[in-house]
Amino acid sequence: MALEHQIIAGEVMHARLAPKRNAFKYATCYVSINLSQPDSLPLKRNRFGLLSFYDKDHGASDNSDLLSWARAILADHGLAGLKGEIVLVTMPRVLGYVFNPVSFWLCHDAEGNCRAVLCDVNNTFGERHVYLCAHDDHRPITRFQALEAEKVFHVSPMLKREGHYRFLFDITDERFAVWIDHYGSDGTKLLATWLIGKNETMTTGRLRSAFFRFPLLTLKAIVLIHWQALKLLLKGIPYISKPAQKESRVTSSK
């Protein structure tokens, strides 16, 4: 049975742990789009709406086929045999505006098991990087089995581009949850983050309700990013200039 399109209403939490603590949490809303079932999507696609989804915001960012982009990455990393449905978990455009700190491409096998997750990260400098999370033996990703990847992408000007990420996923029919923690090169845990949300079948009525329940969602995300950066500066955390982005645009977990 095809995986249905869903709305994910929940919370995001970020906690900076060292050298000074700064934490925040806010309500958020994501959409879960089965890219293998485009004709049944209630969300407005490639046209303006209260909430909408534009292909050019994802993948190669040129309106090309999103499934082909994701499958090419899988093939390049030994996962060409992963032929099941691909579900994109992302924030929608709100009144035409979008900023997605991170989107998640859930890649399934023919039996419906999630065996890889593409964590598609955007920074505020207009750059992107993909962290491909999959076990070495390509077994299904199950609850709280850690995956790690070297941090190679500059995101926050308050954190060095070094150390590694630790990813944990809990993906079920009822909820979507992910924990991403950043550890420094000496093993110190510097940043703890999570996104936890409850899944609901996507309908036109629920999309309309989500628009009013989470007003200016994507604008709030970009405003909060800069507000928290200002708070860190006021706490004495030094600003780190952005290094040149590394040539590779995909990093595989280990």
Per-domain residue ranges for the chain? 6-252
What confidence score (pLDDT) does residue 75 get? 97
pLDDT at 129: 98
Write the CB contacts of 117 (distance below 8 Å, at least 6 apart in sequence). Answer: 104, 105, 106, 107, 132, 133, 134, 141, 167, 169
pLDDT in tens, 89-128: 999 999 999 999 999 999 999 999 999 999 999 999 999 9
3-24, pLDDT tens digit by residue? 899 999 999 999 999 888 989 9
pLDDT at 210: 96
Q: How many Å apart are CA 154 and CA 53, to the nearest integer?
A: 26
What per-residue confidence (pLDDT) applies to 235? 87
Considering only 12-16, 17-21, 72-76, 184-188, which range has the smallest mean pLDDT? Answer: 17-21
Handedness of CA 225, 171, 120, 134 (dihedral sign): positive
Tell me the C-alpha distance between 117 and 142, whole Å. 12
Contact 171, 141 (CB under 8 A): yes
Long-range contacts of 208-216 (CB under 8 A, 24+ apart): 208/50, 210/7, 210/9, 210/29, 210/51, 211/50, 211/51, 211/94, 213/9, 213/29, 214/9, 214/27, 214/28, 214/29, 216/94, 216/95
Segment 222-227 mean pLDDT: 87
Determine the pLDDT at residue 157.
87
Return the H-helix or E-strand segment holding 30: strand 22-34
The per-residue pLDDT for 197 is 97
The predicted model gives 68-87 an average pLDDT of 96
- State the chain's mean pLDDT as an integer: 94
Other Cβ atoms less than 10 A from the Cβ of 48: the count is 10
Average pLDDT over residues 241-248: 93
**pLDDT over 70 at 191, yes or no:** yes
Cα angle 204, 106, 126 (rounded to 5 degrees) comes to 85
Share of the chain above pLDDT 70, in %: 99
* Terminal Cα-to-Cα distance of the chain (whole angstroms): 32
Token couple for 195: 């996104």
CB crowding 117-153: b at 16 or more within 10 Å, else e: bbbbbbbeeeebbbbbbbeeeeebbeeeeebebebbb
Separation between Cα atoms, residue 138 and residue 212, nearest integer Å: 40
Residue closest to 89 by CA, chosen among 33, 15, 170, 38: 33
Q: What is the largest CA-CA distance in the chain?
A: 53
- The answer to whether the beta carbons of residues 217 and 146 sit under 8 Å apart is no
Within 32-123, residue ranges assigned H as helices are 66-76
Q: What pLDDT score was predicted for residue 151?
A: 97
> Tell me, what's the pLDDT at 207?
97
Structure tokens at 175: 């909820």
Averaged over 140-165, what is the pLDDT? Answer: 94
Give the pLDDT band of residue 1 (cuts 50, 70, 90).
very low
C-alpha closest to that of 216 among 13, 58, 7, 29? 29
pTM, two decimal places: 0.95
Q: Would you state the pLDDT for residue 2?
A: 61
pLDDT of residue 168: 97
